[in-house]
Amino acid sequence: MRYLLRPLCLYRRAYATLNTSAEVNTNPVVLRSYQNECIQSCLEALASGVTRIGVSLPTGSGKTTVFLSLLSQIPSPPTNPNATRSLVIVNSIELARQSAEQAARLFPNWSIEIEQGNKHSATGLADLYVPLLASSLCLT
Protein backbone atom coordinates (compact mmCIF):
# COMPACT_ATOMS: atom_id res chain seq x y z
CA MET A 1 0.00 0.00 0.00
CA ARG A 2 1.14 3.49 -0.78
CA TYR A 3 0.06 6.74 0.82
CA LEU A 4 0.16 10.13 -0.86
CA LEU A 5 -0.44 13.60 0.47
CA ARG A 6 -3.87 14.85 -0.48
CA PRO A 7 -4.11 18.30 -2.09
CA LEU A 8 -5.66 21.00 0.09
CA CYS A 9 -8.90 22.74 -0.81
CA LEU A 10 -9.62 26.44 -0.35
CA TYR A 11 -12.46 26.29 2.21
CA ARG A 12 -11.18 27.59 5.55
CA ARG A 13 -12.38 26.91 9.06
CA ALA A 14 -10.44 29.11 11.48
CA TYR A 15 -11.09 28.45 15.15
CA ALA A 16 -8.94 31.38 16.27
CA THR A 17 -11.48 33.76 14.76
CA LEU A 18 -14.45 32.29 16.64
CA ASN A 19 -16.09 34.58 19.17
CA THR A 20 -14.50 33.10 22.30
CA SER A 21 -13.93 36.34 24.17
CA ALA A 22 -15.64 34.98 27.29
CA GLU A 23 -13.37 31.93 27.23
CA VAL A 24 -10.06 33.58 26.30
CA ASN A 25 -7.53 33.43 29.11
CA THR A 26 -5.88 36.86 29.20
CA ASN A 27 -3.37 35.70 31.83
CA PRO A 28 -0.29 33.79 30.78
CA VAL A 29 -0.53 30.03 31.11
CA VAL A 30 0.60 28.78 34.50
CA LEU A 31 2.10 25.36 33.88
CA ARG A 32 2.49 22.66 36.49
CA SER A 33 6.06 21.82 37.52
CA TYR A 34 6.16 18.54 35.56
CA GLN A 35 4.82 20.34 32.48
CA ASN A 36 7.63 22.92 32.74
CA GLU A 37 10.19 20.13 33.18
CA CYS A 38 8.79 18.36 30.11
CA ILE A 39 8.96 21.51 27.98
CA GLN A 40 12.49 22.32 29.17
CA SER A 41 13.63 18.76 28.37
CA CYS A 42 12.15 19.05 24.89
CA LEU A 43 13.77 22.44 24.28
CA GLU A 44 17.14 21.11 25.47
CA ALA A 45 16.80 18.08 23.19
CA LEU A 46 15.99 20.31 20.22
CA ALA A 47 18.94 22.59 21.03
CA SER A 48 21.24 19.55 21.06
CA GLY A 49 20.12 18.54 17.56
CA VAL A 50 17.44 15.94 18.30
CA THR A 51 14.72 16.11 15.65
CA ARG A 52 12.20 13.56 16.98
CA ILE A 53 10.81 13.87 20.49
CA GLY A 54 8.32 11.61 22.24
CA VAL A 55 6.39 12.73 25.30
CA SER A 56 4.26 10.36 27.38
CA LEU A 57 1.93 11.77 30.02
CA PRO A 58 -1.15 10.22 31.67
CA THR A 59 -4.73 11.12 30.82
CA GLY A 60 -5.71 14.51 32.21
CA SER A 61 -2.15 15.73 32.71
CA GLY A 62 -2.39 18.52 30.14
CA LYS A 63 -0.65 17.08 27.07
CA THR A 64 -2.46 19.55 24.80
CA THR A 65 -1.34 22.49 26.94
CA VAL A 66 2.21 21.11 27.04
CA PHE A 67 2.59 20.72 23.28
CA LEU A 68 0.97 24.08 22.55
CA SER A 69 3.22 25.80 25.08
CA LEU A 70 6.21 24.00 23.59
CA LEU A 71 5.25 25.15 20.08
CA SER A 72 5.02 28.74 21.30
CA GLN A 73 8.58 28.53 22.69
CA ILE A 74 10.36 26.93 19.73
CA PRO A 75 12.23 29.66 17.85
CA SER A 76 12.35 29.79 14.08
CA PRO A 77 15.54 28.29 12.66
CA PRO A 78 18.27 30.86 11.90
CA THR A 79 18.31 29.69 8.28
CA ASN A 80 14.57 30.42 7.89
CA PRO A 81 13.27 33.09 10.29
CA ASN A 82 9.90 33.08 8.51
CA ALA A 83 9.23 29.45 9.54
CA THR A 84 6.55 30.13 12.13
CA ARG A 85 3.74 27.68 11.31
CA SER A 86 3.10 24.36 13.07
CA LEU A 87 1.50 21.11 11.94
CA VAL A 88 -0.29 18.88 14.47
CA ILE A 89 -1.66 15.63 13.01
CA VAL A 90 -4.43 13.95 15.02
CA ASN A 91 -6.51 10.82 14.47
CA SER A 92 -9.98 12.03 15.51
CA ILE A 93 -12.13 15.11 15.10
CA GLU A 94 -12.44 15.29 18.89
CA LEU A 95 -8.66 15.69 19.26
CA ALA A 96 -8.60 18.22 16.40
CA ARG A 97 -11.28 20.33 18.06
CA GLN A 98 -9.64 20.00 21.48
CA SER A 99 -6.30 21.16 20.08
CA ALA A 100 -7.85 24.02 18.12
CA GLU A 101 -10.04 25.24 20.97
CA GLN A 102 -7.21 25.07 23.52
CA ALA A 103 -4.88 26.93 21.14
CA ALA A 104 -7.53 29.62 20.61
CA ARG A 105 -7.87 30.04 24.39
CA LEU A 106 -4.14 30.08 25.11
CA PHE A 107 -2.97 31.98 22.02
CA PRO A 108 -5.86 34.09 20.66
CA ASN A 109 -3.59 35.79 18.11
CA TRP A 110 -2.84 32.48 16.32
CA SER A 111 -4.79 31.56 13.20
CA ILE A 112 -5.92 27.93 13.41
CA GLU A 113 -7.30 25.59 10.76
CA ILE A 114 -8.72 22.08 10.91
CA GLU A 115 -8.67 19.75 7.90
CA GLN A 116 -11.29 16.98 7.90
CA GLY A 117 -11.53 15.57 4.38
CA ASN A 118 -14.49 16.96 2.44
CA LYS A 119 -16.21 18.31 5.57
CA HIS A 120 -13.59 20.92 6.51
CA SER A 121 -10.78 21.81 4.15
CA ALA A 122 -8.04 24.25 5.04
CA THR A 123 -5.53 26.41 3.24
CA GLY A 124 -2.61 25.05 5.26
CA LEU A 125 -1.40 28.62 5.78
CA ALA A 126 -2.52 29.07 9.40
CA ASP A 127 -0.18 29.44 12.36
CA LEU A 128 -1.49 26.09 13.61
CA TYR A 129 -2.73 23.57 11.06
CA VAL A 130 -4.55 20.52 12.50
CA PRO A 131 -5.42 17.85 9.91
CA LEU A 132 -6.90 14.47 10.71
CA LEU A 133 -4.56 11.68 9.70
CA ALA A 134 -7.12 10.27 7.26
CA SER A 135 -7.45 13.73 5.66
CA SER A 136 -3.70 14.05 5.19
CA LEU A 137 -3.23 10.71 3.47
CA CYS A 138 -5.13 8.86 0.81
CA LEU A 139 -4.84 5.19 -0.04
CA THR A 140 -3.84 4.43 -3.62
Beta strand ranges found along the chain (DSSP E)? 3-5, 86-87, 112-115, 128-131, 137-139
Which residue segment(s) compose the domain that 25 sits in?
3-139
Task: Using a cut of 0.95, tell me whether the model's pTM lies above it.
Answer: no
- Give per-residue burial for 49-73: e unless 16+ CB within 10 Å, then b: eeeeeeeeeeeeebbbbbbbbbbbe
CATH of residue 34's domain is 3.40.50.300
Total tally of structural domains belonging to the chain: 1
Q: Tens-of-pLDDT digits for all 140 residues of the chain?
A: 333 333 332 223 333 333 334 444 455 678 999 999 999 999 999 999 998 999 999 999 999 999 999 999 998 888 999 999 999 999 999 999 999 999 999 999 999 999 887 787 788 789 999 999 875 554 33
